[in-house]
A and B are shown apart, each in its own frame.
Chain A
């Protein structure tokens, strides 16, 4: 939460590692006059009065998670009082030294395609909205290729919105593998969940960092996160927290291994479930070589190379 001091202008970001939820602008109308937020069109800011934020036609109704805002106080300065915005982090100069854990990668490399960088949107003169499908757009430094979300999966093509010559990755994330064109991002695979928890199975790709460890996100639909909380790895359906209404299951101190809530006391909503996490980049069978002459190496040099003879 953030206590807002008695100053006129405040900039900040909604959502922390402890919790995040939408906060009604109308409920803050006695404290805040107007709120500015970047429009997805990339060429303007959307401006919303808090007193009008309860209108069915209001453009912005809440402080929503993962979005930056600027706002200005309501009323005369003499009437200002300190107030609180839950889950809001003030970003005025010198207010904080905190960092952002991104839920999408800052950059990634796809074999044969190049390195893609997060952008502030596609070229607004060619594509609308610039934040195509309200998702991050990526492009190579020379601008020859873009990665963009088509509403279902990410595509790589020469121009955003144009699927001519495109390849897709059948994923909610931009940095999942595009078929044979592999991603450079680190990856894990989770398997073993059953029933209603089976949606948490699958590939997870690194999208950010938390507690000096990668944050992994489910590639299929982006709805599950695997992160290190400082002592334990955790799988949660809520970004980087187990607070609030999060459904989660705890792992161990190692990134790989068992997620075990078979006893019902090692998580929430995953009752009776047990799954396994393995490093997706270190499938021993995928590293095996037929002639044993290829030089193989793993990231941590600890995994044993398995050759055909061993299988």
Chain B
């Protein structure tokens, strides 16, 4: 697993390993909201206030940057208008073979297995089939 310890991180999700990469559902991992508005804690165990300190961004196929965070979950996950519900569904998992950048201002480390953070000046790997 990779521990996100910094407030900004840009990296690749999905590594070659002994076992194959699997997608990670962000609501399942970090939390979401039920239709009655109550917070549903994710597998990470982050509290609502801690989980709100995280945004995971990706670049959509259209070339627009798009975030996943608890605010998006709260606003759109159970929205009565289907097209608005789709807003949060277009990016609500970490998919193998994609780049993500993470903003995290929580006090503890964020555990994201299969995420390979990168930084300027550090040769972390190569991408292949």
Residue of B at shortest CB range from A104?
A: B124
Pairwise interchain contact B122-A131, C-beta atoms closer than 8 A? yes
Within A13-34, which residues are at the interface with B (CB < 8 Å)? 13, 15-18, 20
Most buried by A among B8, B15, B58: B8
Question: Does B61 sit at the interface, judged by CB under 8 A?
Answer: yes
Question: Does A235 sit at the interface, judged by CB under 8 A?
Answer: no
Contact with B along A186-209 (1 / 0, CB 8 A): 000000000000000000000011
Question: Does A219 sit at the interface, judged by CB under 8 A?
Answer: no
Most buried by B among A5, A93, A119, A139: A93
Question: Does A107 sit at the interface, judged by CB under 8 A?
Answer: yes
Within B1-28, which residues are at the interface with A (CB < 8 Å)? 1-12, 14-18, 21
Chain B interface residue number, banded: 35 or more
Binds B, one of A63-71, A167-175, A253-261, A285-293: A63-71
Across the interface, which residues of B come within 8 angstroms of A121, CB to CB? 5-6, 117, 119
Question: CB within 8 A of B17: which of A43, A96, A135, A209?
Answer: A209
Across the interface, which residues of A come within 8 angstroms of B62, CB to CB? 7
Pairwise interchain contact B63-A9, C-beta atoms closer than 8 A? yes
Pairwise interchain contact B2-A117, C-beta atoms closer than 8 A? yes
Pairwise interchain contact A39-B95, C-beta atoms closer than 8 A? no
- Determine the distance from Cα of A59 to Cα of B119 in the docked complex, in whole angstroms: 13
Within B87-126, which residues are at the interface with A (CB < 8 Å)? 90-91, 95-99, 101-102, 109, 111, 116-126
Given A98-B128, A209-B17, 20 new contacts (CB under 8 A): A8-B64, A9-B63, A13-B127, A15-B123, A39-B119, A42-B6, A60-B120, A65-B126, A67-B118, A70-B59, A92-B61, A98-B97, A99-B127, A100-B125, A102-B125, A117-B3, A120-B4, A131-B119, A141-B111, A239-B125
Across the interface, which residues of B come within 8 angstroms of A45, CB to CB? 8, 10
Question: Does B34 sit at the interface, judged by CB under 8 A?
Answer: no
Question: Does A162 sit at the interface, judged by CB under 8 A?
Answer: no
Pairwise interchain contact A91-B97, C-beta atoms closer than 8 A? yes
Question: CB within 8 A of A100: which of B9, B16, B59, B66?
Answer: B16
Question: Does A89 sit at the interface, judged by CB under 8 A?
Answer: yes
- Determine the distance from Cα of A5 to Cα of B21 in the docked complex, in whole angstroms: 27
Contact with B along A22-58 (1 / 0, CB 8 A): 0000000000000011111011111000000000000
Q: Which 3 A-B pairs have the closest CB atoms?
A: A7-B63, A91-B99, A42-B6
- Determine the distance from Cα of A18 to Cα of B3 in the docked complex, in whole angstroms: 29
Does more than half of chain A's interface fall in helix, strand or loop, or is it mixed? loop
Can you offer 6 A-B residue contacts whose CB atoms are under 8 A? A42-B7, A67-B121, A106-B15, A119-B2, A135-B122, A239-B126
Known: A40-B120, A45-B10, A120-B3. A240 touches B126 (CB 8 A): yes
Pairwise interchain contact A68-B11, C-beta atoms closer than 8 A? yes
Binds B, one of A122-130, A150-158, A275-283, A295-303: A122-130
Pairwise interchain contact A39-B16, C-beta atoms closer than 8 A? no
Question: Does B84 sit at the interface, judged by CB under 8 A?
Answer: no
Known: A45-B10, A120-B4. A136 touches B124 (CB 8 A): yes
- Determine the distance from Cα of A17 to Cα of B2 in the docked complex, in whole angstroms: 22
Known: A68-B11, A91-B99. A120 touches B5 (CB 8 A): yes
Pairwise interchain contact B117-A8, C-beta atoms closer than 8 A? no
- Determine the distance from Cα of A24 to Cα of B67 in the docked complex, in whole angstroms: 30
Across the interface, which residues of B come within 8 angstroms of A15, CB to CB? 123, 125-127
Question: Does A264 sit at the interface, judged by CB under 8 A?
Answer: no
Across the interface, which residues of A come within 8 angstroms of B129, CB to CB? 17, 98-99
Question: CB within 8 A of B98: which of A95, A107, A240?
Answer: A95
Across the interface, which residues of A come within 8 angstroms of B63, CB to CB? 5, 7-10, 73, 92
Known: A91-B12, A92-B99, A139-B3. A67 touches B119 (CB 8 A): yes
- Determine the distance from Cα of A137 to Cα of B6 in the docked complex, in whole angstroms: 12
Across the interface, which residues of B come within 8 angstroms of A92, CB to CB? 58-61, 63, 98-99
